[in-house]
Amino acid sequence: MTSVMKGKSIVTSLLAAVALSTFSANADGPGAPLTYRHFKVEETDDRVLSMTPLPASPAPRWARDVSQESFDWTAQSGDKPFFARPIPFVLAPVDEGEPFGKHNHQPSITWLPNGDLLAIWYSTGREQGTELTVLASRLRPEADAWDASSEFFKAPNRNMHGSSIFHHGEATIYHFNGMAPYGGQGWAKLALLMRVSQDNGVTWTPPQAVDARLIGRHQVISGTLLTNDGALIQNCDAVPGGNGGTALHISRDGGRTWTDPGEGKPKPEFTQGATGEGTIAGIHAKVIELKDGRLLAFGRGDSINGHMPMSLSADLGKTWTYKASPFPPIGGGQRLVWRRLEEGALLLVSFTSGNRAKPDSVNMTFTDQKGEELTGHGMFAAVSFDEGETWPLRKLLTPGAGDWNGGAWTQEFTATPTRAEHAGYLAATQTPDNVIHLISSRLHYRFNLPWLLEGVSYGDAKPAKEAQR
C-alpha cells in the first residue's frame, strides 16, 4: 500500500468515527441508526430547528435482505475490454403506497462493500413541486436487473432537491441532500443535510444539518470528494438558474463543521484568465483533486469563449482561476461526470451538443474499437493521463443500435454507431474490479478503461498501469 493510500485509509477511518460520534451512535439512544426515510421538521425564520426521524415500517425494498458479507471483487476483475448494453435503474415501485412521479431525474450512485450498487434520484410531477421526493434502488451481485424503487428520503410538503451518495472505499456511506422550506416551491432556498450509514445503506443516522439555514448555495450535486489530506467536499449549485457557478462546502473534521469559502463573496466574472473567490465557473460542476493537491473543476453554463469552463484552485477552493476547456459546453437536461479512475487516469463524460433538441448540431471526431475515426454526436468519454493537460482518448458511449428511453428530459432516442444518448444527468462510480458504472437520468452503462483504450493510440501518454497513484 502506498503512503498516500495508507494515509487516506487512516483519514477515512477517522471520518467514520467522527461521523458516528457526531450523530450519537449509541445503539439504544435516540440518535441510533435506523432505517430512516421519513422525518418531521421544525423551522422558524428561514432556519431548520429540529428534524425528528420516523422509523420505516415495513422496511422499504432497498433495505430488505441486504447482505452484510464483504464481496470478493477479485473474482470478476480483469484487464479485458468490457462494455455492456445499458439497463434501466429507474423502475416503478411494486410495493403498495410507494410514490413514483412521471419525472425521475438528478441521480447519484455508489458501490457498496457487499457488492451492491445503490442509486438514488428524485421523483416528482414537476421539479418545483412539494411532492418531489428521493427514491432509491439496488443492483445486487449477479442480478441482471435493478430492484423496483422505493422512497428513500422525504419530509412532508417539502421539495427535496438535489442528492449525492458517496462511499469513500471503506465502510462509511455518506448521503447529502437539500430540503426546501415547508410549502416552498423550487430550490432557490434549501437547508443542506447529511447522514451516514455503515451497514451497506440499510440503516442511516438521523439527518444532520450541514447548514440549517434555508438559503442559496445549497442545491446538492452528485460528486462528493474526499481529498488525500482528509477534507470532505460537497459541491452545490450557487444559484437556481443555468449560469452562476457552483459552491463547495468543506469539512476538515469528518462532517462535524463546515465552511463555504464563497459565501458572501462577490460573483466572479467567468472569463479567460480571470480569478474569483470561492465559486466554480458553471453550475452542476464536478471537482477532482490533482496529484499536486490542486482542485480542478468542469461545469455547465458560464461558457468561456464558446467552450465548457474549467476552474483551478491551489488553496482548497478559496480562489479559482477560470479558462476555456477543450470541450463543447452543455446545457439544459445535461450534467457531466468528472472523476479520477482507480488506474490513475482522469475521466470526463459529457455531451457533444448543449442543445438536447438538436443533438446533431455539434459533432466531434472519435475513435471506434477498430481504431477507425468516426464523426458522431451525443454522450462521450474523454480520458487524460497527464492530469488534464492533454486528452488523447475520446470515445462515443453508444450501445450502437436500438430504440431507447432515456427518461426525464432525454426521452426517446435511437442509438447508432455514430449516435449516443444526447442528454441526461450523469453520475458514476467505479467498483473495485475497475468497472465504471455510469448512469444517466434512467439508464445504467457499464464499461472499463481497457474498453475505452481499445483501438486508440495515445502516443506518449502513460498506459493505465503506469499511471497509478
Per-residue model confidence as pLDDT tens for the chain (469 residues): 443 444 455 445 545 554 444 433 333 344 678 999 999 999 999 999 999 999 888 999 999 999 999 999 988 777 899 999 999 999 999 999 999 999 999 999 999 999 999 999 999 999 999 999 999 999 999 899 999 999 999 999 999 999 999 998 889 999 999 999 999 999 999 999 999 999 999 999 999 999 999 999 999 999 999 999 999 999 999 999 999 999 999 999 989 999 999 999 999 999 999 999 999 999 999 999 999 999 999 999 999 999 999 999 999 999 999 999 999 999 999 999 999 999 999 999 999 999 999 999 999 999 999 999 999 999 999 999 999 999 999 999 999 999 999 999 999 999 999 999 999 999 999 999 999 999 999 999 999 999 999 998 765 444 433 333 2
Q: How far is CA 318 from CA 162, 274, 356, in A?
A: 24, 14, 34
Cβ 43 vs Cβ 182: under 8 Å: yes
Q: Which run of H or of E encompasses 8?
A: helix 3-22
Between CA 397 and CA 337 the distance in angstroms is: 13
Question: Phi and psi of 312, rounded to 5°?
Answer: -130, 130
- Which among 285, 293, 272, 111 is positioned nearest to 200, based on CA atoms? 111
Q: Can you give the pLDDT at residue 29?
A: 42
Q: Can you give the pLDDT at residue 33?
A: 85
Other C-beta atoms closer than 10 Å to the C-beta of 80 total 8
Cis peptide before 326 (omega within 30 of 0): no
Between CA 24 and CA 12 the distance in angstroms is: 18
Question: Cell numbers 420505516 label which residue?
Answer: 56
- Which among 254, 255, 154 is positioned nearest to 208, based on CA atoms? 255
Burial of 438: CB neighbours in 10 Å, binned 0-12, 13-18, 19+: buried
By DSSP bridging, strand 83-88 and strand 443-448 are: antiparallel
Grid cell of 44 as nine digits: 422558524
- Which among 32, 240, 20 is positioned nearest to 127, based on CA atoms? 240
Grid cell of 424 as nine digits: 441526461
Other C-beta atoms closer than 10 Å to the C-beta of 260 total 22
Grid cell of 171 as nine digits: 465502510
Question: Cell numbers 488506474 label which residue?
Answer: 343
Cβ 259 vs Cβ 250: under 8 Å: yes
Between CA 134 and CA 456 the distance in angstroms is: 40
Would you say the C-alpha torsion 18, 22, 23, 28 has a positive or negative sign?
Answer: positive
Between CA 255 and CA 172 the distance in angstroms is: 12
Question: Cell numbers 447519484 label which residue?
Answer: 108
Q: Can you give the pLDDT at residue 13?
A: 52
Between CA 227 and CA 288 the distance in angstroms is: 8
Between CA 407 and CA 24 the distance in angstroms is: 39
| Residue 410 identity | T
Strands (E), 3-79: 36-43, 48-55
Between CA 314 and CA 309 the distance in angstroms is: 17
pTM of the model: 0.93
- Which among 128, 321, 113 is positioned nearest to 199, based on CA atoms? 113
First to last CA, the chain: 11
Q: Can you give the pLDDT at residue 125?
A: 97
Cα 294 off chain centre by: 20
Burial of 412: CB neighbours in 10 Å, binned 0-12, 13-18, 19+: exposed
Helix (H, G, I), strand (E, B) or coil at 199: coil
What does 114-167 look like in DSSP terms, one character per residue?
Answer: TS-EEEEEEEESSTTSTT-EEEEEEE-TT-SSPPPPEEEEB-TT-----EEEEE
| Residue 9 identity | S
Helix (H, G, I), strand (E, B) or coil at 209: strand
